[in-house]
Amino acid sequence: MLRVLSALVGVIGFGYAGLLSASGMDEWFRTFKAEATPKQMYAFLAKLLKGADLHNHLTGAGFSEWWYDIATDTERNGGYHYYTKVSVQQCGGYGTDEFGGNRQLLLFRTIQDSTYQTLDECQRSEYKALERLTEQEKQGFLNSIRLDKAHEGRNEFFETHWNRLNELPENPHASAYILLKNMQAFGREGLQYLETQIKIRGNLKPDGSLYSPEDALEVYRDVLASDEAKATGVTAKFQFMVLRFAPDAEDSLRWMYEFADQHRDLFAGINMAGREDNDKGYPLRFLSTLRELRHQYPAVPLAFHAGEVDEPNQHVRDTLLLGAQRIGHGVNTITDPDTLLLMRHGPYLIEINLISNLLLEYIDSYSQHPFGEYLRLDIPVALSTDDRGMWDSTMTDEYYVAVKEFNLSWRELTSLARNSLQHSFLPPDEKKAALDFYAERLAKFTAETLAHGFPDQDTDLEKRSFICKYQAALCSKE
């Protein structure tokens, strides 16, 4: 079948390939799925054009090695020096973080030099400059901000990872570097658009004083304007993230709404995030605040983490009442039939995070994930990576899991990328241009695949990565 299709398109030429692309690629991909080795399938999906990543926490999207590299590169990181905790000496005198949690015993909690200088001699003895770590200590630092052990789950992730990074993401030069690394990696995977959640308030200068939000944003602007960023072929825009269970979440939302309205060229929208099992962040808490803001400002697009919880509830429905256009995760939407019906064929998209949902134990296996049900009920869905640096995963990994676990057809596979662009928070003219560009790229990819097939390629993967643990055959030398 593969040879017949390839020969046929070869005879009639690429100009006619578009007429064959729908049925032709359906048949081609059906046969390819049946015949391809795991490595061949992964290599194909790595080259597949994927549209956008709409659910991306920039801090969590940085691989451990990227954080270490920028933290120890004073020329590129703005002149910062960093220390990380490598021992516990029970020095005492420790304060608490902003939510009351004492972090005295947390190894690999990272601070910048201005903070280090405020510690007493005993406290300083617990810390070591990042560039002076032994190989064992460095490996400990790298492993401390990724879920790399079987016993680690959501508590390790929510309660320690962010507190270990601590002051590193508060350096806008470091975070902008993580943005660039993501753009470069996504460009190699065939993505063309990224909406990522960034922190623009509370950024620290090397001396410990605060950046103004405008000055911090200028650091990101400079990176986006660089030749390195332009060479990726990826367009990036930002979302503000409101930590929904924080005591001052309403005030943060008001500030972010105003700032996003003033910087619509870079800020695509606002994302309400945070552990959904913390009841202080329940969706309807923000109803009156959002109604107040919609009275004052032109519409700012809204995404909301909802349905990322074990219990059945109606948080997704309540989120739609708030005005959300996209639902992050939506795992438990399937337990709310009325909302499920409301979302069929509707304007709302569910941002699907397969790997995240498994590693954080919202599902025990992919057989429990409702992604296939949503997709085949015509609820708009798109794959996204969430905190991929902490999973050691890629967008290709998400696509590979989706194909393997849910037997996607070619039409379903390409609908994911199309949905991601259609439901992006890009302005209408930019969205149309992005969709047209995707259609052109996909037509070329389809025609070339039908004409020539897909050549065998080696897959170069880190053996510690998520995908190697998911399917060992991808990382074997045989």
**Total domain count, the chain:** 2
Q: Model pTM?
A: 0.93
Q: From CA 70, how far away is CA 77, in angstroms rounded?
A: 6
- Whether residue 389 is found in the same domain as residue 422: yes
Residue 259 lies in a domain: yes
Q: From CA 30, how far away is CA 408, in angstroms rounded?
A: 9
Residue 402 lies in a domain: yes
- Whether residue 357 is found in the same domain as residue 421: yes
- Whether residue 200 is found in the same domain as residue 139: no
pLDDT given at position 13: 38
- Residues in CB range of 407: below 8 A, 6 or more apart: 33
Residue 392 lies in a domain: yes
* Confidence band for 374, pLDDT divided at 50, 70 and 90: very high
* Confidence band for 28, pLDDT divided at 50, 70 and 90: very high
Closest alpha carbon to 168 in 158, 159, 178, 160: 178
Task: State both tokens at 203.
Answer: 């950024």
Q: From CA 92, how far away is CA 109, in angstroms rounded?
A: 16
- Whether residue 232 is found in the same domain as residue 103: no
- Residues 319-353: pLDDT tens digits? 999 999 999 999 999 999 999 999 999 899 999 99
- Whether residue 183 is found in the same domain as residue 114: no
Q: From CA 441, how far away is CA 452, in angstroms rounded?
A: 16
- Residues 98-151: pLDDT tens digits? 444 456 689 999 999 999 999 999 999 999 999 999 999 999 999 999 998 888
Phi, psi (deg, nearest 5) at residue 56: -145, 110
Inter-CA distances, 359 with 196, 356, 362, 388, 391, Å? 21, 5, 8, 11, 8
Task: State both tokens at 335.
Answer: 């337990």
- Whether residue 56 is found in the same domain as residue 93: no
* Confidence band for 3, pLDDT divided at 50, 70 and 90: very low
**What's the one-letter identity of residue 325?**
Q
pLDDT given at position 8: 37
Quote the domain boundaries for residue 337.
47-62+171-442
Task: State both tokens at 24.
Answer: 């032709």
Closest alpha carbon to 400 in 351, 466, 346: 466
Tell me how far the alpha carbon of residue 374 is from its chain's centroid: 20
pLDDT given at position 103: 62
Least confident residue range of 278-282, 288-292, 321-325, 349-353: 278-282
Any alpha helices (H) in 166-297, and if so which ranges?
172-188, 213-224, 227-230, 249-262, 287-296
Tell me how far the alpha carbon of residue 190 is from its chain's centroid: 15
Residue 3 lies in a domain: no
Question: Does 462 have pLDDT greater than 90?
Answer: no
pLDDT average, residue stretch 159-178: 96
CATH number of domain containing 220: 3.20.20.140
Collapse the DSSP code of 340 into the 3-class scheme (helix H, G, I; strand E, B; otherwise coil) and give the result.
Answer: helix
- Please tell me the total number of residues recorded for the chain in this structure: 478
For residue 195, list its beta bridge partners: 237
Question: Does 368 have pLDDT greater than 60?
Answer: yes
Phi, psi (deg, nearest 5) at residue 331: -60, -40
- Whether residue 198 is found in the same domain as residue 345: yes
- Residues 256-275: pLDDT tens digits? 999 999 999 999 999 999 99
pLDDT given at position 97: 46
Higher pLDDT, 8 or 385: 385
- Residues 44-77: pLDDT tens digits? 999 999 999 999 999 999 999 999 999 999 999 9
Q: From CA 300, how far away is CA 100, in angstroms rounded?
A: 32
- Whether residue 318 is found in the same domain as residue 372: yes
62-72: b (≥16 Cβ within 10 Å) or e: bbbebbbbbbb
